[in-house]
Amino acid sequence: MHIVVCIKQVPDSAQIRVHPVTNTIMRQGVPAIVNPYDLFSLEEALRLKDEYGGRVTVLSMGPPQAEAALRKAISFGADDAILVTDRAFAGSDTLATSFALASAIQKIHEDMPVDIVFAGKQTIDGDTAQVGPGIAKRMDLQLLTYVSSITDLDLENREITLHRRAEGGVQVLKTSLPCLITMLEGTNEMRFATLPNMFRAARYPLKQWDKDAAGITDVSKIGLKGSPTIVSKVFAPQPKTIPAEIIDCESKQPKDLAVTLLAKMFTKFPNLHEDIAKANA
Amino acid sequence: MDEKFDAIVIGAGPSGNAAAYTMAKAGLKVLQIERGEYPGSKNVQGAILYSKALEEIIPDFREDAPLERHLIEQQMWVLDDESYIGTTYRSAEFNQEPYNRYTIIRAQFDKWFSKRVQEAGALLVCETTVTNLLMDGNRVIGVQTDRENGAIYADVVVLADGVNSLLAKKAGFHAELEPKDVALAVKEIHFLPEETIQSRFNIGEGEGVVIEMAGKITQGMMGTGFLYTNKDSLTIGVGCMLSDFKQQKITPYELLEKMKAHPAIKPLLAGGEMKEYTAHLIPEGGYKAMPKLFGEGWMIVGDAGMFVNAVHREGSNLAMTTGRYAAEAVIDLKEKKLPMTAANLARYQGRLEDSFVMKDMKKYKNMPEIFHKNNHFFTTYPELLNRAAHTMLTVDGVDKKSKEREIRKSFKQRRSLFGLMGDAFKMWRAFE
Ligand SMILES: Cc1cc2nc3c(=O)[nH]c(=O)nc-3n(C[C@H](O)[C@H](O)[C@H](O)COP(=O)(O)OP(=O)(O)OC[C@H]3O[C@@H](n4cnc5c(N)ncnc54)[C@H](O)[C@@H]3O)c2cc1C
Ligand SMILES: Cc1cc2nc3c(=O)[nH]c(=O)nc-3n(C[C@H](O)[C@H](O)[C@H](O)COP(=O)(O)OP(=O)(O)OC[C@H]3O[C@@H](n4cnc5c(N)ncnc54)[C@H](O)[C@@H]3O)c2cc1C
C-alpha cells in the first residue's frame, strides 16, 4: 500500500503579530510549523502503515524552507519526502496549488501506485479547505472529508470503510480505493518521534522537484497566471472592546459585593426576574 | 542505538555550537542534541557579540551572520530616583571595519551559527532533551535522551547545557547552584522604526549604542541594567542576584517596570511596542563558584561551567572560547589516538589557564563578595553622586567652595570616611 500525505508549512498563528508601525503582518521571525490539521492526517496514515504495511510519502509545495516541515514528517515515521519548489509557483491560489500537487502526485503514482491521498481539513493560514477536494477532483479520486475514523481497510477488494462527521450525525461510508481523505481535527494525537527516526530525519536526502520534475508542462495553470483569485485587500478586523466595570463597595465583604452586583444587574435588565421565571417554566 | 559518535555535545547555545563546529570541521563524527524547538528558541541574551571569540572559530562570520548594529558608543549611567550621572565614550575608531562589537538577537544568531555547524558536518537533533549521562563506573560513555530508543554513545560528552546544568548536578560534577551565585535577568524588546532609533540615539545606519546602568534602579540589590539598540528595536533589561530578589521580595518584572518609568529612560522607549519579554539566569558566582571542568569522558563549557564575567558583561564570548578549547582538546587526543581519560582531557583546563579566560576569572574572583557585603554601591553612592552633580550644577548664589564642602560632608554623613576609603580600596583590589 502506498499513501501520500500533503502537508503545508504555515506560520505559527499563535505567534503572528501585526507590526505596530506599518500595520502589516510580520512573518519574519515567526516560527514555521506543519499545518496542525495535516498532522491528524499524517498520524492516521502512519497508523494504517503500522497496521497494513506499505509506504508513506509526504509531499509539500512551497519555498525551500518548507524542507523543515517535511523533515519533521520523516521524524514521525514517513518513508519519503518530496518538496515541490519552483519560482514559477509563486502567487499560486488554491486552483493552481491543487493543480501542481495533483501533477506531482501523478508523478509519484507512476513510480509506485498510490492508494490513498491524505490532506488536512484546511490550513491555518489560507483556511480555504479547497486544496484537498481540488486534488481529488483533478485526479478523479473518491473524496472523503471530515473523517473521524477509518474502521476497515480491505486491500484485497480495494475497499475502505470509515466514519464521517456530518451535520447532525455520523455517516458510515464504504468506498473504493483510490481515495482522498481529510481527517477531522482532534482525531489523532501525533506520535513522539523515536531517536533513530530523529537521526533519519536529520540525514534524509530530501527530494526537490521543480515544475518539470513534477510533470507540469502547462505553465499557464500555475503561479499567478494560473490563479484567478484576486486579493483586493487584506486588513485586520478592529477588535470591539467593551470597557470592563470594576464594582466596589465600602465594606469589601464578598456578600455585599454580590448584593451590589445583583442590584446593578436588576437595574440594567428590569425584566430579568420574569425572564428567569419563564426560562425555568 | 548502535551508532557511536566521536563526541556528543549537549546544547546548541554559543558554547555547544563552538564545540560542535570545531570538532566537525576537523572531521570528527559529532552529534549535537538541543532540547529547544530550534537552536536559539530557548536562549536569552542582551545581547552583545564580541567579535574576537567568534572570529577565531568562523573568520568570515560577518558575511552572513545576522548582526543588528555595530557599537560606536558606550554610556555608563549611575542612577538616582529621578536623575542619572554618566559617562559617554564614542569613537570614530569604532566605525572602522572590522567592527569589534555588535548587538545581536540570539534567536536569529543561534540559528545562523547552527546552520554553520550542520554544514560543517555535525548531526543536530532538536526537541530532544538529554535526561541522564550514561556511565560505566565513573566514566561517561554516552547520553540518555527522552525519546524512545534514546540511548546513544560517544567517546566524549561535552556539557554545553547552560546555567543550572541539571546534568552536571545529577552526575555529581556540580553542586546545587546557590542563589548568591546566580543573577536573574529580565529583558524586553521594544519595536521602533529604524530612523527613530537613529535620530533618538544620534547614530547612523548600522551604528549602535550601549547604555549600562547601575544605581537605584536595582533598589539596593546587586545588579545592573542595560539598554541596547538593535536595527529596529531596543533591548532593555535588568538583572540582580537571585538571593537579593528572594530577600527583598521584589519581582524582576516590577523592577523592570519601575526602571522603564525612570524619567531618563522613558523618553528613549517612547512610542515603541513591546515585542518580547524573557527571563533567564546568569551564572555570576565567578571563579570561586566554578565546578570541576573535566573528568573521565566529559568536559563542561560555557555557562554550565560558570564562565561569565559579570563586571564586563561577558558570557557568550567565554562560552564560544571554552567550547573551542574543549573541542581542540578532543581533536588533539583523536589525532594522537589517545583515550578521553581525565588525565588526557586535562589539556582543556591547561588551555583555559593559559588564556584570558582563567586569567579574567581569577582577576575578578573577589568581586561578587565585595558587592554582596556592601549595598552602598547600589544605594548610597548613586544617590550621593547624583546629589553632588546637582549641587555643583545648580546656580543659586552659593560659592563653589562651600558647595564642595557640602558635598564632602554629605558623603561623610552617609558613610564614614573609613568606610568610603575601605570601599574604594576593595574595589581597587578587585579590579587590580
Ligand atoms: C485570500 C488569500 C490570498 C492569498 N494570496 C496569496 C498570494 O498572494 N501568494 C501566495 O503565494 N499565496 C497566497 N495565498 C495562499 C494560497 O492561495 C494558499 O496557501 C494555497 O492555495 C493553499 O490554500 P489553503 O492554504 O487555503 O489550503 P487548504 O485548501 O485550506 O488546505 C487543505 C489541505 O491541502 C493541503 N495543502 C494545501 N496547500 C498545500 C501545499 N502548498 N503543499 C502541500 N499540501 C498543501 C494540506 O494538506 C492542507 O491541509 C492566499 C490565500 C488566501 C486565502
Ligand atoms: C539577560 C542576559 C543578558 C546577557 N548579555 C550578554 C551580553 O551582552 N554579552 C555576552 O557575551 N553575554 C551575555 N549574556 C550571557 C550569555 O547569554 C551566556 O553566557 C551564553 O548564552 C552562554 O552560552 P551557553 O552555550 O553556555 O549556554 P546557553 O546559551 O544557555 O545554551 C544552552 C543550551 O543547552 C540547551 N539545553 C539545556 N539543557 C539541555 C538538555 N538537558 N538537553 C538538551 N539541551 C539542553 C538549552 O536549550 C540551550 O539551548 C547575557 C545573559 C542574559 C541572561
ipTM summary value: 0.83
CA distance linking residue B113 with residue B66, whole number of Å:
9
| Rounded Cα–Cα distance for residues A24 and A88 (Å) | 25
pLDDT at residue A19, as a whole number: 61
Q: What pLDDT is recorded for position A126?
A: 87
If you count them, how many residues does chain B have?
432
CB contact at 8 A, B103 and B208: yes
**Angstrom distance (rounded) from CA B194 to CA B189:** 14
Angstrom distance (rounded) from CA A217 to CA A222? 10
To test ligand 2's pocket by mutation, which of B32, B234, B259, B316 has the most ligand atoms within 8 angstroms of CB? B316
Write the pLDDT tens digit of every residue in A83-118. Answer: 999 999 998 999 999 999 999 999 999 999 999 999
Domain map of chain A by residue range? 2-221, 240-281
Which grid coordinates belong to A95?
486552483
| Percentage of residues of chain A with pLDDT beyond 90 | 69
CB distance A181 to A44 below 8 Å:
yes
Per-residue model confidence (pLDDT) at position A18? 66
Residue B21's pLDDT band (boundaries 50, 70, 90)? very high
Q: What is the mean pLDDT of residues B182-192?
A: 92
Given this model, what pLDDT does residue A206 score?
94
CB B295, CB B138: distance < 8 Å: yes
Q: What is the pLDDT of residue B380?
A: 77
Classify residue B375 by its DSSP letter.
G
Q: For chain B, give every domain's residue range.
A: 4-67+104-174+291-354, 180-283, 369-431
Say if CB A212 and CB A164 are below 8 A apart. no
Give the distance (Å) from ligand 1 centre to CA of residue A61.
10
Mean pLDDT across B115-130: 97
Q: Which residues of B touch A192 (CB under 8 A)?
A: 147-148
CB-facing half-sphere around the CA of B361: CA atoms within 13 A: 25
Q: Residue type for B319, please?
A: A
More confident site: B422 or B137: B137
Joined together, the cell numbers standing for residue B298 give: 566529559
Q: What does DSSP say about strands B30-33 and B123-125: parallel, antiparallel, or unpaired? A: parallel
Interface contact B3, partner A, CB < 8 A: yes
pLDDT class of B1 with cuts at 50, 70, 90: confident
Q: A110 phi and psi, to 5 degrees?
A: -65, -30
Q: Quick check: B239 and B259 in contact, CB under 8 A? A: no
Name the strand (E) or helix (H) holding B281.
strand B273-283
CATH architecture designation of domain A2-221: 3-Layer(aba) Sandwich (3.40)
Distance from the CA of A265 to the center of ligand 1, in angstroms? 47
The minimum CA-CA distance between A14 and chain B, rounded to whole Å, is 14
- Residue among B43, B105, B106 to mutate when testing ligand 2 (max atoms within 8 A of CB): B43
Q: Is the peptide bond before B252 cis (omega within 30 degrees of 0)?
A: no
Q: What is the pLDDT of residue B122?
A: 98
Q: How confident is the model at residue A25 (pLDDT cuts 50, 70, 90)?
A: low
Q: Is the pLDDT of residue B341 over 90?
A: yes
**Residue-level pLDDT at B395:** 84
Q: Which of A41, A264, A240, A29 is nearest to A132 (CA)?
A: A41
Contact partners, residue A86, CB within 8 Å, separation at least 6: A209, A210, A211, A214
User: What per-residue confidence (pLDDT) applies to A92?
Assistant: 92
**Test the A interface: residue of B147, B188, B195, B273 with most A CBs within 10 Å:** B147
Contacts of A20 in chain B (CB under 8 A): 191, 273
Report pLDDT for B236: 96
Q: What is the pLDDT of residues B366-389, one digit of tens each?
A: 877 776 666 777 777 778 788 888
Contact B306, B283 (CB under 8 A): yes
Contact at 8 Å (CB) between B21 and B57? Answer: yes
* Cross-strand partners of B279: B186
pLDDT band at A29 (very low <50, low <70, confident <90, very high): low
| Cβ-based contacts of A196 with chain B (< 8 Å) | 1, 149
Residue B36 and residue B34: Cα distance in Å, rounded?
Answer: 6
pLDDT, mean of residues A201-205? 96
Residue in the block written with cell 547552527:
B114
Question: What b-and-e string marks burial along A71-104, b requiring 16 or more CB atoms within 10 Å of the CB?
Answer: bbbbbbbbbbbbbbbbebbeebbbbbbbbbbbbb
Please check whether residue B274 touches A, CB under 8 A: no
For the cut 60, the answer to whether the pLDDT of residue B432 exceeds it is no
Structural contact between residues A77 and A43, judged by C-beta atoms closer than 8 angstroms: no
Mean pLDDT value of segment B289-312: 93
- Quick one: which H or E segment has residue B347? helix B342-354
Q: What is the pLDDT, as a whole number, of residue B424?
A: 64
- Check whether B206 has a pLDDT greater than 80: yes
**Peptide bond just before A178 cis, omega within 30 deg:** yes
Region B4-67+104-174+291-354: CATH code: 3.50.50.60
Q: Mapping DSSP to helix (H, G, I), strand (E, B) and coil, where does residue B314 land?
A: strand
Cβ atoms of A78 and A210 closer than 8 Å: no
Q: Mean of the per-residue pLDDT values for chain B?
A: 90
**Are residues A85 and A208 in contact, defined by beta-carbon separation less than 8 angstroms?**
yes
Q: How confident is residue B2, by pLDDT bands cut at 50, 70 and 90?
A: confident
Q: How confident is the model at residue B99 (pLDDT cuts 50, 70, 90)?
A: very high
Q: What is the pTM of this model?
A: 0.86
pLDDT for residue A239: 67
Average the pLDDT over A240-259 and give the result: 84
Pocket residues: Cβ below 6 A from ligand 2: B 10-16, 33-36, 42-48, 129-130, 160-162, 167, 185, 187, 237, 239, 280, 282, 302-304, 308, 313-317, 319
Rounded Cα distance between A239 and B179, Å, is: 44
- CATH class of segment(s) B180-283: alpha beta
Interface probe with B: pick from A71, A198, A204, A206, most Cβ of B within 10 Å: A198
